Structure formats: C-alpha cells, structure tokens
Structure 1
C-alpha cells in the first residue's frame, strides 16, 4: 500500500468507526468483531448467543488440533499440526549454541475458493489504486 493510501485510510479511521464495523476500517478482525458480525447477520441471535457460538467453535477446533486431528472446511481451508524437528540454534547475545527441542505447531492452508477470492479482491483493489494514481 502506498504511503498516500495508508495516510488516507488512517485519517478516515475515526469516521469509519461510526459507519461500519471496525475491522472493515483497520483490516484486522478480532474475536469480538467476529461475534458482532455474527450477531448482526443473524437477528435471532443475541450478542451472548453469538459469543457462545464463536467460543464453542474455536474451542472445538483447538481441542481437535491438540489431539493431532486435521480440520478441513470446504471452500475455506484446512488446519493441521506440523512437526518442527529439533535443531541447534544460536543465542544472539552470547553466540553460544543452543539445543531447540522438537515442536508441534498449528498450520493453516487456505482452500482454492478462499485463495481465488482473496486474489480477485486484491487485484480489484490494486486496479483501483493504479487508476487513482493516474488521475
């Protein structure tokens, strides 16, 4: 993003908060933003119900990953656990070698539909930005 575009986005940020959800302005969606979006889309859900639904889904996903299972959501992506083998690192302060133990870390691989949607939207935004620079 160009510095000019970034400056315009930041200057519009306070006004943006009054007219649309915060994550649309900042580009960051937090757990509470997800709860608010869910409650707004489904009027029959109270804020507390939406919060409980998000917590339940995230807890179930976390538990599955802790047990070593793979989670696949068609059109969105898959979550799995990757193994990082043990290795020898270096302490940046002293320069001495340090043994780093094996780790298991969560990994997300986006699905085809999500990758294509993100790519299309990015291309659209880049085209708008290029058009704005020409004018």
Structure 2
C-alpha cells in the first residue's frame, strides 16, 4: 500500500477531499520525522505502535572486494515497534 492508497482510503471513508487528507498525512509524517531527528523523542501511538530511535553500537566490518576491515561508528536509526494488540491481529 502506498501513501496515495492511504490517502484515497481515508478520503473515501471520511468524505474529506483528497487534497486535505494529503496535507494531513504529510503533516503527520513530518511531525514524526521532526520529533525523531531533532529531539530524539519517541512517538507512541496507543493501539498501533511506537516510532523509536535505536542506537547502533560501533562495529567492525569487512570490505570483501578490497579485503580490508572498516569501523562503522555508533549511530542512531529510526525503527517501528508495533503494539501487542496490533501484532496479534497480524499474526
């Protein structure tokens, strides 16, 4: 399902115009991105899941083509953890 599909579904079920729904969906996603990048604050949506920032530790990796080792520094990555009730429905 793409973002356009989501916008179409919401517009169909609520009766709101697609342009307005598109703006709301964009604002929602932008607020999540801003929260995770600037503040490193997690976003919790009860009954759906959590958008969290995970910290990856420093690790050593190999470049197979050059036969060398490189160090990958510690970094943060965004992740999604579904709520237990949501995960149970999917299973």
Same fold (TM over 0.5): yes
Shift of 1:32: 1.0
Q: Unpaired runs of 5+ in structure 2?
A: none
Shift of 1:92: 1.8
Which residue of structure 2 aligns with residue 63 of structure 1? 34
Q: TM-score, normalization: structure 2?
A: 0.93
Q: Structure 1 residue 48 and structure 2 residue 7: aligned?
A: no
Which residue of structure 2 aligns with residue 110 of structure 1? 82
Q: Unpaired runs of 5+ in structure 1?
A: 1-28, 120-135
Higher helix share: 1
Shift of 1:78: 0.8
CA distance in 1 between partners of 2:40 and 2:50 (Å) = 13
Where 1:58 maps in the other structure, the secondary structure is: helix
CA RMSD of aligned residues (A): 0.9
Q: Stretches of 4+ moved more than 2 A in 1? A: none
Shift of 1:95: 1.5
From 75, 83, 95, the equivalent of 2:47 is 75
Query: What is the count of residue pairs matched by the alignment?
Result: 90
Q: Structure 1 residue 86 and structure 2 residue 58: aligned?
A: yes
Where 1:72 maps in the other structure, the secondary structure is: strand
Where 2:76 maps in the other structure, the secondary structure is: strand
